[in-house]
């Protein structure tokens, strides 16, 4: 018996898929997790998603789909978390290649379904931006999710759309998606998070990190990303809702527009037209900016002074928690320094580490 879980946004959604499998399907045969290799600039200095040609050591699963085994490696300067995920989690990670647009993704998905004959197909999105109309002012990264929605609704197989942690990605407010969310399929617990707890010690995903933190009982307001978006952590946060696939397509203007696209460039053009931007353009611009930045030395006294200032300002904004990605960006450190900074903070102030988040202390 094979379960196929499609990670709508790649990266953290692939990690959440492993937790979902443990929660819903337990000790059944392990899943095939179909995902983008798109780790953003904290891990990968190249903008946009990676494709099979960006790796060595991939293994062909079907004529159209490659898997990423533990021994695979991204070709420098590209970066990817997928080989390490394959090494640490008991699932098969299959690579989505979006460079042939929604038509290419549909073909890959159909090829995989035909080969696996899976017991079930779940399309998983953490946060809910797959339900975006496209004009929401807080929406930042609609492209990947819209592509997978466009592909999944064209596959000749039943696909169940699941939204975990409504609002946790900071893209949409919980009230933006509340009306379309269906029944709660599951509420994640601390025990569910055991399946991926070791991964979250190094993986940079913020939305999945917040999902796990709320499953473990953390509540408050968490600040994420370089923009410092405030995300409420509530009793609704660790829930998983089923959503009618047709309802999602009816809402998502971008997904409807790109169904016949054969190139990623076409998808970007529709995103610029409908949403006003392409998130890959944002990554291109940020990558150029980062390349021009002088590397900052990881100096502990300087780090502590900057962190104290950051925490004071965050506390004044009503923030109770933050992510290590947010701290990295706020302190003007590079993504390559994130793990060293994280280890410094946790070893020195372990009482503030509410895994995988950093707690903002109360005023002295």
State mean pLDDT over 98-124: 97
* Contact predicate 1/27, CB 8 Å: no
Interatomic CA distance for residues 81 and 43, integer angstroms: 8
In the predicted structure, residue 363 carries a pLDDT above the cut 90: no
State mean pLDDT over 33-49: 93
Residue pLDDT, tens place only, 153-170: 999 999 999 999 999 999
State mean pLDDT over 337-342: 92
**Around 260, how many Cα atoms within 13 Å sit in the side-chain half-sphere?**
1
> So what's the pLDDT on residue 58?
98
Q: How confident is the model at residue 11 (pLDDT cuts 50, 70, 90)?
A: confident
Spell out the residues 6+ positions from residue 256 whose beta carbon is closer than 8 angstroms to its own: 150, 249
Residue 88's CB: how many other CB atoms inside 10 A? 15
> So what's the pLDDT on residue 40?
84
> So what's the pLDDT on residue 225?
87
> So what's the pLDDT on residue 173?
83
> So what's the pLDDT on residue 120?
96
In the chain, where the domains are located: 3-257, 300-359
> So what's the pLDDT on residue 35?
98
Q: How confident is the model at residue 126 (pLDDT cuts 50, 70, 90)?
A: very high
**What's the chain's average pLDDT?**
94
Residue pLDDT, tens place only, 191-235: 999 999 999 999 989 999 999 999 999 999 999 988 889 999 999
> So what's the pLDDT on residue 333?
87
Among the listed ranges 72-81, 127-136, 169-178, 309-318, which one has the minimum average pLDDT value? 169-178
User: Which pTM does this prediction carry?
Assistant: 0.96
- The more confident residue out of 225 and 36 is 36
> So what's the pLDDT on residue 291?
79
* Contact predicate 169/207, CB 8 Å: yes
Among the listed ranges 20-29, 73-82, 177-186, 338-347, which one has the minimum average pLDDT value? 20-29
| φ/ψ bin of 128: left (φ > 0), alpha (ψ from -120 to 50), beta (otherwise) | left
Q: What angle do CA 261, 266, 269 make, to 5 degrees?
A: 135
Short-list 20, 4, 241, CA closest to 120: 4
- The more confident residue out of 70 and 287 is 70
Residue pLDDT, tens place only, 319-335: 999 999 999 989 988 88
Cα-flanking dihedrals φ and ψ of residue 34, to 5°? -95, 120
């Amino acid at each position: 018996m094979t379960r196929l879980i499609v990670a709508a946004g790649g990266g953290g959604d692939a990690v959440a898929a492993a937790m979902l499998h443990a929660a819903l399907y337990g000790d059944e045969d392990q899943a095939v997790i179909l995902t983008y290799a798109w780790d953003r600039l904290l891990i990968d200095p190249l903008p946009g998603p990676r494709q099979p040609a960006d790796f060595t050591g991939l293994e062909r699963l079907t004529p159209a789909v490659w898997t990423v085994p533990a021994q695979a490696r991204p070709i420098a300067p590209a970066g990817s978390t997928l080989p390490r995920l394959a090494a640490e989690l008991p699932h098969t990670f299959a690579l989505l290649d979006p460079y042939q647009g929604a038509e290419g993704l549909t073909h890959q998905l159909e090829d995989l379904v035909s080969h696996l004959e899976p017991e079930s197909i779940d399309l998983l999105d953490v946060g809910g931006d797959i339900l975006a109309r496209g004009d929401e002012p807080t929406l930042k990264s609609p492209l990947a999710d819209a592509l997978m929605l466009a592909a999944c609704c064209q596959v000749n197989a039943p696909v169940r759309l699941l939204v975990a942690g409504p609002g946790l990605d900071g893209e949409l407010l919980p009230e933006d998606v509340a009306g379309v969310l269906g029944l709660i399929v599951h509420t994640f617990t601390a025990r569910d998070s055991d399946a991926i707890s070791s991964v979250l010690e190094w993986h940079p995903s913020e939305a999945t990190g917040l999902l796990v933190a709320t499953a473990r009982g953390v509540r408050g307001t968490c600040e994420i990303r370089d923009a410092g978006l405030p995300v409420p952590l509530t009793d609704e946060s660790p829930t998983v809702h089923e959503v009618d696939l047709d309802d999602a397509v009816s809402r998502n203007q971008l997904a409807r527009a790109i169904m016949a696209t054969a190139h990623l460039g076409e998808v970007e053009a529709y995103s610029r037209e409908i949403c006003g931007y392409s998130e890959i353009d944002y990554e291109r611009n940020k990558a150029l900016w980062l390349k021009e930045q002088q590397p900052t030395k990881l100096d502990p006294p300087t780090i502590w002074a900057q962190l104290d200032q950051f925490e004071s300002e965050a506390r004044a904004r009503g923030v109770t928690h933050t992510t290590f990605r947010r701290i990295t960006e706020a302190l003007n450190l590079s993504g390559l320094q994130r793990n060293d900074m994280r280890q410094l903070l946790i070893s020195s102030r372990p009482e503030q580490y509410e895994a995988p988040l950093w707690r903002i202390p109360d005023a002295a």
